[in-house]
C-alpha cells in the first residue's frame, strides 16, 4: 500500500487537464499564493514602518516615494506574480499573446500615472518655494492639458511597441486636426488668447478694466477658456471673447495708486482782470482744503468762443472711484460758492453776431 501511494500521487500529478499537468497547476497556485503572501508581508512589516518614519520627517520626497511604492510598485508586483503564475501553465499562443498585450498595457498605464504623479509632486515642491499665486494658477489650468498630451504620447508609444502600424493613424490625425482647426478658427483663436492672458497677465480676477474705443468697463469676475466675464458698474454681466480683449487696448486700474484729475472751468469775458489774476490761487486754496488731495497747478489756459478757460490739475491719493467723485463734487460746489461771493460768472454757451449796415 505504501509503495502504491507514491505511484498514485505521481499519476495524479502527471494527469493533464487542458494540456497542463496537475503539478503545473499546483506550482502556478504556489507562485501566486507565495507572491501574494510575500507582498502582504512586505506591506505590513516593511512598508508600514517606512511610511510611519516618513510621516515624521519634514521632507516631502520620502512621502512621495512611499506613496509611489504603495500605489504603483505594489500593483506592478501583483501583476508580475499573476503573470508568472499564468505563464507557468504554458497557455496557448493566442492566450499568451493576449496576456502579453494586457501586461504591456497595464505596465504602460502604471508608468504614465507614475510620471504624472511625479510631475505633480515636483510642482508642489516648487510652489512651496515660489509662492507666486498667479504662476500656480497658470500651472493648475495647464496641467490637465499636459496630462492629455502625456497620455496621448504614451498611448502612441505603447501601440508602436505592441506592433501596430500607427504612421497612417498619425497622418490621419494630422489631417483631421488641420480640418478641425480650419473649421474652428474662431474658437481656437479664443483658446490661444486664453493662454496669452494666463501667461502675459494683462488683467487678473477682481481687476477693474476699461476697454478702449467703447464705454464698456467693469470688474473681472471669471476668465474662461473661451470668454471672460466682466461685471459692469451698473450691475449687468459683460461677456467678452478672449480674442477681443487681447486685441484691444485695455486700461487696468489695479495698480492705480492715485488719480490725476484734469478739468477745465470757464469765466466770462467781463470778469475783472484782478479776479483773473487771483483765480489760480483761489482754486488752489479750495482744492488744498480737501484731505487726501494734492494740488498740482491751475493756469489761464485759452480764450474760447464764449469764455476764458482755466485748466486745473490735482491728484486724489486713492484708487477708489467713489472717493474721486466725492472730491470733485465738493470742489465744484466750493468753487461755485466762491464765484458767487465774488461776483464771477460762469457764462452760458453764447455767440455774439455783429451786423454792419452798408451805405
Residue 17 has what pLDDT?
65
d(CA 89, CA 86): 6
Q: What is the pLDDT of residues 60-96, one digit of tens each?
A: 666 666 666 666 667 777 777 777 777 666 665 555 6
Q: pLDDT class for 1, splitting at 50, 70, 90?
A: very low
Torsions phi, psi of 3, nearest 5? -75, -20
Q: Does domain 259-342 have CATH number 3.30.70.100?
A: yes
Q: How many CB atoms lie within 10 A of CB 293?
A: 22
Q: What is the pLDDT of residues 141-157, one digit of tens each?
A: 677 777 888 877 777 77
Out of 3.40.50.300, 2.30.30.60, 3.40.605.10, 1.10.630.10, which CATH number does the structure's domain 193-252 have? 2.30.30.60
Per cent of the chain over pLDDT 90 is 18
Across residues 232-242, what is the average pLDDT? 88
Q: With contact defined as beta carbons under 8 Å apart, do 14 and 22 qualify?
A: yes
Higher per-residue confidence, 193 vs 21: 193
> How far apart, in Å, are the Cα atoms of 26 and each of 13, 22, 82, 98?
9, 6, 14, 23
Residue 285 has what pLDDT?
93
CA angle 171, 161, 106 (to 5 degrees): 115
Higher per-residue confidence, 33 vs 284: 284
Residue 218: beta bridge partners?
209
Q: What is the pLDDT of residues 19-68, one digit of tens each?
A: 666 666 677 777 777 777 887 777 777 777 777 776 667 666 666 666 66
> How far apart, in Å, are the Cα atoms of 279 and each of 99, 122, 273, 307?
96, 67, 10, 14
- What's the whole-model pTM score? 0.47
Task: Kindly write down the DSSP assignment for every residue of 42-71, as one continuous string.
Answer: IIIIIIHHHHHHHHHSS-SHHHHHHHHIII
Domain boundaries, the chain: 4-162, 193-252, 259-342
Amino acid at each position: 500500500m505504501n509503495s502504491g501511494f507514491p505511484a498514485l500521487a505521481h499519476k495524479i500529478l502527471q494527469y493533464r487537464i487542458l494540456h497542463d499537468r496537475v503539478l503545473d497547476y499546483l506550482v502556478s497556485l504556489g507562485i501566486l499564493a507565495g507572491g501574494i503572501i510575500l507582498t502582504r508581508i512586505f506591506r505590513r512589516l516593511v512598508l508600514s514602518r517606512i511610511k510611519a518614519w516618513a510621516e515624521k520627517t519634514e521632507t516631502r520626497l520620502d512621502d512621495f516615494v512611499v506613496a509611489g511604492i504603495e500605489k504603483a510598485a505594489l500593483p506592478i508586483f501583483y501583476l508580475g506574480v499573476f503573470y508568472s503564475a499564468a505563464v507557468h501553465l504554458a497557455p496557448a499562443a493566442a492566450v499568451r499573446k493576449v496576456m502579453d498585450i494586457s501586461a504591456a498595457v497595464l505596465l504602460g498605464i502604471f508608468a504614465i500615472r507614475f510620471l504624472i504623479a511625479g510631475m505633480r509632486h515636483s510642482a508642489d515642491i516648487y510652489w512651496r518655494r515660489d509662492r507666486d499665486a498667479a504662476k500656480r494658477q497658470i500651472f493648475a489650468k495647464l496641467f490637465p492639458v499636459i496630462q492629455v498630451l502625456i497620455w496621448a504620447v504614451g498611448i502612441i508609444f505603447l501601440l508602436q511597441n505592441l506592433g501596430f502600424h500607427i504612421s497612417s493613424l498619425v497622418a490621419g490625425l494630422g489631417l483631421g486636426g488641420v480640418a478641425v482647426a480650419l473649421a474652428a478658427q474662431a474658437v481656437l483663436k479664443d483658446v490661444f488668447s486664453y493662454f496669452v492672458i494666463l501667461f502675459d497677465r494683462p488683467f487678473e480676477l477682481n481687476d477693474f478694466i476699461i476697454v478702449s474705443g467703447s464705454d464698456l468697463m467693469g470688474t473681472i469676475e471669471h476668465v474662461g477658456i473661451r470668454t471672460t466675464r466682466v461685471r459692469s458698474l451698473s450691475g449687468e454681466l459683460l461677456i467678452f471673447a478672449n480674442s477681443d480683449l487681447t486685441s484691444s487696448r485695455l486700461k487696468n486700474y489695479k495698480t492705480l495708486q492715485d488719480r490725476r484729475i484734469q478739468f477745465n472751468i470757464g469765466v466770462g469775458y467781463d470778469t475783472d482782470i484782478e479776479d483773473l489774476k487771483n483765480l489760480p490761487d483761489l482754486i488752489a486754496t479750495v482744492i488744498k482744503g480737501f484731505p487726501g488731495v494734492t494740488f498740482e497747478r491751475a493756469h489761464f489756459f485759452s480764450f474760447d468762443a464764449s469764455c476764458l478757460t482755466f485748466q486745473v490739475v490735482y491728484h486724489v491719493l486713492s484708487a477708489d472711484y467713489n472717493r474721486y467723485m466725492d472730491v470733485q463734487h465738493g470742489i465744484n460746489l466750493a468753487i461755485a460758492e466762491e464765484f458767487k461771493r465774488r461776483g464771477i460768472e460762469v457764462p452760458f454757451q453764447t455767440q455774439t453776431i455783429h451786423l454792419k449796415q452798408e451805405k
